[in-house]
Amino acid sequence: MCGIVGFIGREQAAPILLEGLSRLEYRGYDSAGVAVFDAEAGALSVHKAKGRLQVLSEQLHGGADLNSTIGVGHTRWATHGAPSDVNSHPQVSRSGKIAVVHNGIIENYAELKAFLMNQGVPFTSETDTEVVAQLIEYFYEGDLLAAVGRVLRRIEGAYALGILCADCPDRIVAVRKDSPLVLGYGEGCSFIASDVTAILRHTRRVGYMEDGELAVLTREGIQCYNHLMQPIEKEIATVDWEVDAAEKGGYEHFMFKEIMEQPDALRRCVSPRIREGEVVFEDFSLSGSYIKAMSRIYIVACGSSYHVGMVGKYHLERLTRIPVEVALGSEFRYMDPIVDEHTLVIVISQSGETLDTMAALREARRLGGHILSIVNVVGSSIARESDQVLYTWAGPEIAVATTKAYTTQLALLSLLALWLGKQLGTVPEEDYRAMVTAFQELPGKMEEVLAHRDGIQYFASQYFNHNSIFFIGRNLDYALGLEGSLKLKEISYIHSEAYASGELKHGTISLIEDGTLVVALGTYGRLFAKAMSNVVEVKARGADVLALTTESHREEMARTADAVMTIPDTHELLLPSLGVVPLQLFAYYVALMRGCDIDKPRNLAKSVTVE
């Protein structure tokens, strides 16, 4: 959940560490710190501060105060111990000889801490990370790698570690298990980082550490080892997108920039996969015999990706006639899933590092399922561990609240459903042609929605002071409402819930009272009459209704609803792809008017790598 940056080279390290950490702020954090080797003192110099990175940067005058060419930095979300200077990373051993930055959770830290305290080792923080630093020093007898190896055999959980030792000022040791860590190969320098965005200004040559691997970074290069401490050759990739793609480019917030980038992201995702009127997937293959033998499809994901799966279930079942179950990544392992060699398991993750989803993937593979992942980050853990992978090609997404990753995931899953239906012969040719055309028109229609954003901003100005908002819809609109509600709550902090409209009379309508804002979704033409009935129902209880429908139903909806947002008409299965955009904009403008920190909402992180 946090950010790690490490550097060893010939330049001053601290400014590079602080600049890298600033590019990881989107991941979420509540404190920051750096550790460097002070050559004059012959010791590690550690500096930490609760709060924003700017606090630490000002204390260190942008890093100019620290004259060192090796160091590690960290931005922390509190898990073990409240946010404080003491609990911030780097954590150090009792002598100050070892400094550690850590993402993840050491599950058996209490047992290890009790052991060390019985040996007379004092602790200063409440963190699980300090256990790692103290344990390395406990085992250290002059060979840092040997000490780290002994520690790795004893700790349990998820971790990405960056380790400095005052006795070894010519190296950084990095370790990874179930938490992402990227290696950067520079000229006369080496890097580690949680995300490539942190080091892209300095190098485009990167390597992705696998679980159980250890790396030693020096000025001359990086040597990697497997879990048996045998040297291995690491494949080096070249990042081909520009650093400007991870900057605001004149927009006030990354989230707004990424909302506006969605038409282009869709073009990158969809256009190469439609050729001469046919859906074509060159980046993966499922044999015809496997497709025909499929008996069940699971979609496994968390958060917004789970909502993509909810929409995808409707698409897949309608177009393939194969039963589909959508499971939360955090629940999949515990539900005794029915998975065998005839089960296709579609795993969806923006980062490709979501820990719960990764654990579900491994369980599905153990049970014999065929794993197809939909991810945005090339070379991510989920992509590497899947049988097949489809990349969304959305480009870097920096805001914590996902927008373009959601829309590209949804488009790709819908394309996949159409392709599978064609292979199975379950999609009439006329419907297939209509959907292909609709896919090709989708980016242009999304641009139409974005062009009318001023109207959505006006509605936000009318409703931003509500403290509880309900989204209602049926079928695809219900699945869409789940994402609209999540967007609103995660960046504006307004209590919001999404309900299937047909469930109102089964209890939830008791929450509706005079002045309650209900966002009523009525884009799905087949059920528009039902949607109107529910609008009438909540209006009768005193609700204010902000509706979302298609242009062809605007007039009818406006007769009852208090305000109406519209999207262009398109193929009914692609309506959620357009409908989500007004809901993203509504959430953004509401949060803006409430003065919220839109790109870095409280308590949230971009890549959730702890359970």
Catalytic positions: 2, 606
- Tokens (6 digits) for 558: 């406006």
The secondary structure of the chain in percent helix, strand, coil, rounded to multiples of 5, reads 40, 25, 35
- Tokens (6 digits) for 474: 């049926």
CB 418 within 8 A of CB 435: yes
143 to 167, 192, 470: CA distances (angstroms): 10, 22, 60
At 428, is the secondary structure helix, strand, or coil? coil
User: What is the phi/psi pair of residue 43, to 5°?
Assistant: -145, 165
Strands 157-165, 190-193: parallel, antiparallel or unpaired by DSSP?
A: unpaired
- Tokens (6 digits) for 479: 């699945």
Going by C-alpha positions, the residue among 183, 254, 262 that lies closest to residue 224 is 183
- Tokens (6 digits) for 106: 């050491």
Q: What is the DSSP string of 313-325?
A: HHHHHHHH---EE
- Tokens (6 digits) for 371: 């794993």
> For residue 228, how many other CB atoms are within 10 A of its CB?
8
**Summary count for the chain: helices (H), strands (E):** 19, 27
User: What is the phi/psi pair of residue 180, to 5°?
Assistant: -65, 145
Sign of CA dihedral 502, 503, 506, 509: negative
CB 9 within 8 A of CB 188: yes
- Sheet containing 388-391: which strands, arranged edge to edge? 324-328, 296-301, 343-349, 370-375, 388-391
- Tokens (6 digits) for 313: 């279930």
CB 367 within 8 A of CB 337: yes
- Tokens (6 digits) for 232: 């291995």
Contact partners, residue 21, CB within 8 Å, separation at least 6: 3, 5, 32, 34, 53, 73, 74, 75, 198
CB 188 within 8 A of CB 198: no
At 68, is the secondary structure helix, strand, or coil? coil
Contact partners, residue 187, CB within 8 Å, separation at least 6: 203
